[in-house]
Structure 1
Amino acid sequence: VREEAGELCQSLEQQEGRERSASEMADLLYHAMVLLNVQGVSLEEVMRVLRQRFATSGLEEKASRKPK
């Protein structure tokens, strides 16, 4: 996942184009989904969190986090 994230960042920084960026993002998502599956985290759980985030402003979401 780290390697794929690095490749995505490099693609974006070097402005390699939409197709390349989409391909690198697909690689990152694929590998992240594999790791989540190994941990027993479903895609639906991730989508639930994303829906909540899109429904909430960034400041509200950050304020609602539990302290570390």
Structure 2
Amino acid sequence: MNRFIQTSSADQRNSAEQVRQIGSEIEAMVEEMLGGMKSIREASESIGQRVRSSYQEFTSVLDEAGLP
């Protein structure tokens, strides 16, 4: 009986350690994913700004040429 209790206790410790390890791995994956999402958002905003700027330049050229 004592041996069963010792084995059970060791199994619980091992299981708890595995859960902590998996939690740490998931946390690292989420952090990496969030970093990637931030990079995508920044790139998207930069592209949007360039498109707006190009459109403004284009409409300015049309205005100077007297075109509608």
State the TM-score, normalizing by the size of structure 1.
0.35
Select the structure of larger CA radius of gyration.
Answer: 2
State the TM-score, normalizing by the size of structure 2.
0.35
Greater RCO (CA < 8 Å, at least 6 residues apart): 1
Could you say which structure has the higher helix fraction?
2
